[in-house]
Structure 1
């Protein structure tokens, strides 16, 4: 690491415009690494582990403390066709369920990769110390999740994501993988064809940071927190991953598909700070039942065969319909009840839910929970090759919820954690193979070749100018003293998205939302920062830029897709159009967002055979 001080900044991205540069005095720390991993959740951690084991030392950076990532909020479980409870299950059926749940808009190559990889990834996690629940004969226990043909979801109580991230962090630390906490990346250094690094700031000191590298991995999550009712923490899933990649020249895929989890906590019942907080699908996977205010088990009307364990989009729309038609609770929800189960069973399988609701005065072993749908996950994201993580921009890769392809139009519950580790391993292997021919190794004074710790020695003039402009922009933002806060603008954005790009959409609402989005952009000139760049006010201002970019992609693709498919439901086009089995690709051109269509590939013969076998969940096994 070195301190770098510059005395000039170019007025645009071209080094040839040196004559237009203006004198500045910008200080920033310059850090050289072979691979920069942006995001410290499961996907970022697993890529970093693979890189280190392949002989390349990455630097992992995150906006929070190590081990504090959105992965910990994935509570219910992780899918793998182990056959512990149902021996007839196999990877082909896992892939078939994923495609069916995604309404066949998934990338079948990505789906097959995840389904094939997961049994080995589960065994790997066990080897690294993950304490999965076990059957009486010692096998890994598996539970039902919605729309799965068999019991396929492995779990650690109802805190699987937390246990998994702890396992991955412990493994990374055992390998001495460098990590830098409380760093926010604001821009990737790219000319649209290749990356040379990334810039941002230290959230504790406010110092400018410039990371110099030829290999950047975006693993920064999705964008569901753009909505005003969501299951993420406010400072997570704001769209920074997809927005950074789009700005760098990558393309986004299927941004109209946002998953609304059927069961989020109801703020009017439990307090505003709990509004939208996830009530894990494990509650329904262990037999939880949904009732309206008239004590009707209403899923009998919507899905008599799969009931509460139908696809998430089906259950979320059913709950929404019950509330709209006046059969919801006074607080705007419905009831989720698991009290018919044995008390000890609930305590064992759902300890986190028992504890959380117990602190709020609700004993879920005897009383129901009030729930309503909440924005939870974005199926859309960066368009990648799932085997390599490549984005089409040289040196730029992406993994995890920042990407698209595996989940199609609706995500199969339990597949989010699966995707992070299944895709991250081959991506790490590919990047390591790319780095090693042009890198150099260090011996640490031992005389033995160790890992590659540095490759790129300097930035091009063009990219250095881009970095310095970004730092100048951050300084300008820090000085903003208008009448509007970023928090207010984000609240307005969340409201318009929930209203017009939520569970039920139509053309009039989407067009109104696009118009209001432009008004929000105009109001940025009125922005006020309350404090310096170490404050939450400044962090939210940076998030606002990311969220506005991703929101536009979401709204415009939702407007373009004139059909209903999975999580995208258009009341003016309520049927699925078989001619629209195409992905929508978003690129950032000189005149703004451009959208084009791309046909979806067909499943492999083994997976098609599993589809033809028509496997389906028998809900009544839980009765």
Structure 2
């Protein structure tokens, strides 16, 4: 890559602010597991890349995925195989998953797990030395590999260590605000250095988006507020790519319920599914183990959408706690077992004054994962915009209408390797030193001027205020339960939030949280509109999308909703879903199902 000193606007266009120019062979936007695994594959095939992230190196949302990563290893249940893993993924996704996405992920995961072990990932082991596996919701067998309850953190540490061994360049605290695209081809990206406010232009013929999802559109969510704001999806949409399945947002059943004595940052924070996978039970305020009424066979380990709706129903009918939740209890397990298998959860609640070995904790559903995102070809990562690829939670397809727990981390490494392999295969000598067409240079200049003007906005509305309004709109109108009237109201309220952006007030500091919030707000408005419009279009209930005015699943709706930018705004269309392969269909027809009694 070739960095150059900041460009003096007097030498080009007088009203373009100074910016740094960086030329890179491949630009990877996002430094979580998906971006890291893609960059590792590129490096191993001799292709240089630059990975950029909004946070410090190793500080990505991947670290918050605590419970595990799926692969049909058969360590404990020898009859498990990739076909059954695929069948479970389809079943949980309510059969609108992308067939290539499902099969590529499930087929490749055993090799990816063994590779991670070879790279030093310290998986928990059985007494005979095999990689241990635990139950996760809606899985037919014990398939989830884990490192206690810090699996995502251990995964990212392993990938970062491997990337450093390969000397892959990384630049932290950089936020990309726009891709340089004419709608047909991408030529790089522009953004700013969050430490000093300096604008940056990246020239690249290949750009990989690995920028996370959009669960932070909601008031109660399991991310930090400044991540999973829809960056990746919005950047791709503006560049000319299509988005898909935006209506499917997974509400994890067990987010923390805010205790008055805790800092507000704990509200919605995830209580890992591993607690239920290790035998945790749910009780309402009347002391009833209510999942017996909703799912007597799979109980607390039914699909996440089923458990989340059950909790919402208990609260709505007056059987919830005063704080609007229910109780999660694993105190029937031995203290030593909890400390060994759930060390982070045990420590977290101990620090908050609760003992998991003796008492239950309050939980309620929290926005956790976005099944929707960029529509890609899973064999290549291609988005339909030449030179632009996407991977990880930024994309749609693997999970369909609802994600199988443990599949998010699996997707990052399985598909990340394939995307890196494809980019390396099409990379040629001319990509080492890309040149920026004049039109893209002008687009970069306009973006820098717009960002500079944004920083100097002199209205009286703080960006954080509008972010809070937007999140309230999504919580109230596109949450677990939806209907047409509420979705229409949500679109009207969202439009009102958009109008208020003309009154934003900032202090001119491009390193401030307010400036970051203002940029996030633009991304979130785009994706929130897509969620609301897609949810209105899908007139059925399927997986994580539940319409109280269309409560049944409609076979006619076994298709995907796609969103693209039209001449007059956001446009939607439908597309039929492909069919599973014969061998996966055979596994589906075999009807494998979790036997919950193993945990009793």
Q: Please report how far the alpha carbon of residue 342 of structure 1 lies from its aligned counterpart in structure 2 after TM superposition.
A: 1.1
Matches within 5 A, 1:453-602: 454-456=432-434, 458-602=435-579
- Could you say if the C-alpha distance between residues 100 and 8 of structure 1 is closer, same or farther in structure 2, counting changes exceeding 3 Å? farther
Which residue in 2 is equivalent to 1:76?
67
Cα distance in 2 between the residues matched to 1:584 and 1:5? 45
Q: Please report how far the alpha carbon of residue 366 of structure 1 lies from its aligned counterpart in structure 2 after TM superposition.
A: 0.6
Cα distance in 1 between the residues matched to 2:284 and 2:570? 42
Cα distance in 1 between the residues matched to 2:16 and 2:415? 43
Q: Please report how far the alpha carbon of residue 268 of structure 1 lies from its aligned counterpart in structure 2 after TM superposition.
A: 3.7
Question: SS in structure 1 opposite 2:315?
Answer: helix
266-275 or 77-86: bigger deviation: 266-275
Equivalent of residue 57 in structure 2, options 62, 66, 69: 66
Which residue in 2 is equivalent to 1:607?
584
Does the 8 Å CA contact 2:456/2:507 hold for their aligned counterparts?
no
Does the 8 Å CA contact 1:31/1:209 hold for their aligned counterparts?
yes
Answer yes or no: is 1:318 the counterpart of 2:310: yes
Equivalent of residue 296 in structure 2, options 296, 300, 304: 304
Cα distance in 2 between the residues matched to 1:331 and 1:497? 20
Q: Any idea what the Cα deviations from partners look like across 1:201-232, whole Å, max 9, x if unmatched?
A: 00001001000010000000000001010000
Which residue in 2 is equivalent to 1:327?
319
Matches within 5 A, 1:148-163: 148-163=139-154
Does the 8 Å CA contact 1:343/1:365 hold for their aligned counterparts?
yes
Answer yes or no: is 1:345 the counterpart of 2:337: yes
Does the 8 Å CA contact 1:531/1:537 hold for their aligned counterparts?
no
Which residue in 1 is equivalent to 2:104?
113
Does the 8 Å CA contact 1:256/1:554 hold for their aligned counterparts?
yes
Which residue in 2 is equivalent to 1:427?
419
Does the 8 Å CA contact 1:43/1:399 hold for their aligned counterparts?
yes
Q: Any idea what the Cα deviations from partners look like across 1:428-468, whole Å, max 9, x if unmatched?
A: 011011113534xxxxxxxxxxxxxx331x21110000000
Cα distance in 1 between the residues matched to 2:252 and 2:100? 26
Aligned length: 596
- Could you say if the C-alpha distance between residues 150 and 462 of structure 1 is closer, same or farther in structure 2, counting changes exceeding 3 Å? same
Q: Any idea what the Cα deviations from partners look like across 1:350-395, whole Å, max 9, x if unmatched?
A: 0000000001100000100100000000000000011110000000
Greater than 2 Å deviation, 4+ residue runs: 3-9, 268-271, 436-439
Does the 8 Å CA contact 2:256/2:362 hold for their aligned counterparts?
yes
Equivalent of residue 190 in structure 2, options 179, 183, 199: 199
Which residue in 1 is equivalent to 2:349?
357
Does the 8 Å CA contact 1:223/1:237 hold for their aligned counterparts?
yes
Equivalent of residue 30 in structure 2, options 39, 47, 54: 39
TM-score, length of structure 1 as denominator length: 0.95
> Tell me, which stretches of 5 or more residues in structure 2 are unaligned?
none
Cα distance in 2 between the residues matched to 1:382 and 1:278? 25
Which residue in 1 is equivalent to 2:160?
169
Matches within 5 A, 1:89-104: 89-104=80-95
Q: Please report how far the alpha carbon of residue 27 of structure 1 lies from its aligned counterpart in structure 2 after TM superposition.
A: 1.4
65-74 or 427-436: bigger deviation: 427-436
Does the 8 Å CA contact 1:484/1:528 hold for their aligned counterparts?
yes
Does the 8 Å CA contact 1:8/1:25 hold for their aligned counterparts?
no
Does the 8 Å CA contact 2:563/2:570 hold for their aligned counterparts?
yes
Cα distance in 2 between the residues matched to 1:111 and 1:8? 52
Matches within 5 A, 1:265-304: 265-268=256-259, 270-304=262-296
Does the 8 Å CA contact 1:192/1:248 hold for their aligned counterparts?
yes
Question: SS in structure 1 opposite 2:377?
Answer: coil
Question: SS in structure 2 opposite 1:66?
Answer: coil
Which residue in 2 is equivalent to 1:19?
none
Cα distance in 2 between the residues matched to 1:531 and 1:276? 32
Cα distance in 2 between the residues matched to 1:493 and 1:215? 33
- Could you say if the C-alpha distance between residues 112 and 6 of structure 1 is closer, same or farther in structure 2, counting changes exceeding 3 Å? same
Cα distance in 2 between the residues matched to 1:271 and 1:34? 44
Q: Please report how far the alpha carbon of residue 330 of structure 1 lies from its aligned counterpart in structure 2 after TM superposition.
A: 1.1
Answer yes or no: is 1:5 the counterpart of 2:8: yes
Does the 8 Å CA contact 1:227/1:495 hold for their aligned counterparts?
yes
Which residue in 2 is equivalent to 1:401?
393
Cα distance in 2 between the residues matched to 1:403 and 1:30? 28
Q: Please report how far the alpha carbon of residue 531 of structure 1 lies from its aligned counterpart in structure 2 after TM superposition.
A: 5.0
Cα distance in 2 between the residues matched to 1:415 and 1:301? 27
Q: Please report how far the alpha carbon of residue 108 of structure 1 lies from its aligned counterpart in structure 2 after TM superposition.
A: 1.1
Cα distance in 2 between the residues matched to 1:299 and 1:5? 65
Cα distance in 2 between the residues matched to 1:438 and 1:77? 41
Q: Please report how far the alpha carbon of residue 529 of structure 1 lies from its aligned counterpart in structure 2 after TM superposition.
A: 1.3
Question: SS in structure 2 opposite 1:29?
Answer: strand
> Tell me, which stretches of 5 or more residues in structure 1 are unaligned?
10-21, 440-453
